[in-house]
Amino acid sequence: MHPPIVPGTHVVTGAYGYTGKYIAQRLLDRGLPVATVTNSAGRANPFGEQVRAYPLDFANPSALVESLRGASVLYNTYWVRFNYRHFNFAGAIRNSRTLFNAAKDAGVGRIVHVSITNPSPDSPYEYFRGKAEVEEALRDTGVSHAILRPAVLFGGADILVNNIAWMLRRLPMFGVFGDGKYRVQPIHVEDFADLAIEHALGNENTVVNAIGPATFTYREMVAAVAEAIGVRRPIVSVPAWFGLAVSRIVDRFTGDIALTREEIGGLMDGLLYVDTPPVGSIRLTEWAKENSATLGVRYANEIGRRLKRATAYDKL
């Protein structure tokens, strides 16, 4: 039995994960009480006694309600990246509903929810359709909320930008899908955490595109990462099917799923681009140069993070 949280606590999903960890750290920096709900209680707690962990047990909604009772804000980062043997989008939608309803029943004052740019119920991609459905489920609760929609996050234990650097370091050339001219707007994870906290403190229902200061074409982003880490590689256009096939070969060595057909489709359809002003200030180009000694040295493994639940994200 876990002792109840201190009233007014900010509860973050997955504080041993990627964005959840940065949100928790920024909250602690501001002297706020923080707790986490996580399925990864076996991972080392980087915050020690400062952040108490409660189970993110979707099968036990009443326990979730008790874990959240007294919380002022819930930051929800929970989602799955693709359908897999042990998890899928349909389950993630159900689980998100369970979590929102638990927050409502627990009397949580505000929910800051992490979504994606351009979610739509009509999207051909299950990821973007699912995100639209989860946003709707949040609205249905009637709980005061902010929906943050990042395109791509970078910094710390990120996956996409890190693994672009990893491939640049190892492969003789880098293939971009099609012409590579579709746009992306990466935001640094610390800027994102600050944005989440800023919106936790408001009380209007809002939707914010969480994008960084620079818009790149995908090809430009790959070139910027290559330049930052000091590798020269031809960046060539390849058909999406071919890029996916190469990615599958790499997956055999990493034991991961580096990219899915859906992710490539969403990227090429420009869904990681929005026409709204930036909200972050840290620039990918400068950050990549400052972090060139470590960027892409290790592969960041999504499946590893899901299966090895006692190992820290930055070791996987």
Ligand X SMILES: NC(=O)c1ccc[n+]([C@@H]2O[C@H](COP(=O)([O-])OP(=O)(O)OC[C@H]3O[C@@H](n4cnc5c(N)ncnc54)[C@H](OP(=O)(O)O)[C@@H]3O)[C@@H](O)[C@H]2O)c1
Binding site for ligand X (CB under 6 A): 13-14, 16-20, 38-40, 77-80, 87, 114, 116, 150, 152-153, 160, 305-306
User: Is the CB of residue 187 less than 8 Å from the CB of residue 211?
Assistant: yes
For the CB of residue 198, give the shortest distance to ligand X in the complex, in Å: 17
Q: Which of 16, 309, 302 has the alpha carbon at shortest distance from 159? A: 302
Residue recorded with tokens 């590893």: 304
The residue (of 56 and 242) whose beta carbon lies closer to ligand X is 56
For the CB of residue 143, give the shortest distance to ligand X in the complex, in Å: 18
The residue (of 196 and 226) whose beta carbon lies closer to ligand X is 196
For the CB of residue 41, give the shortest distance to ligand X in the complex, in Å: 9
DSSP assignment of 165-193: HHHHHHSSSEEEETT--SEE-EEEHHHHH
User: Is the CB of residue 18 less than 8 Å from the CB of residue 286?
Assistant: no
The alpha carbon torsion through 92, 306, 38, 288 (nearest 10 deg) reads -100
The residue (of 39 and 144) whose beta carbon lies closer to ligand X is 39
The residue (of 211 and 226) whose beta carbon lies closer to ligand X is 211
DSSP H helix total and E strand total for the chain: 11, 13
Beta strands at 174-177 and 235-238: parallel, antiparallel or unpaired:
parallel
For the CB of residue 248, give the shortest distance to ligand X in the complex, in Å: 20
How far is CA 157 from its chain centroid? 10
For the CB of residue 187, give the shortest distance to ligand X in the complex, in Å: 9
The residue (of 18 and 174) whose beta carbon lies closer to ligand X is 18
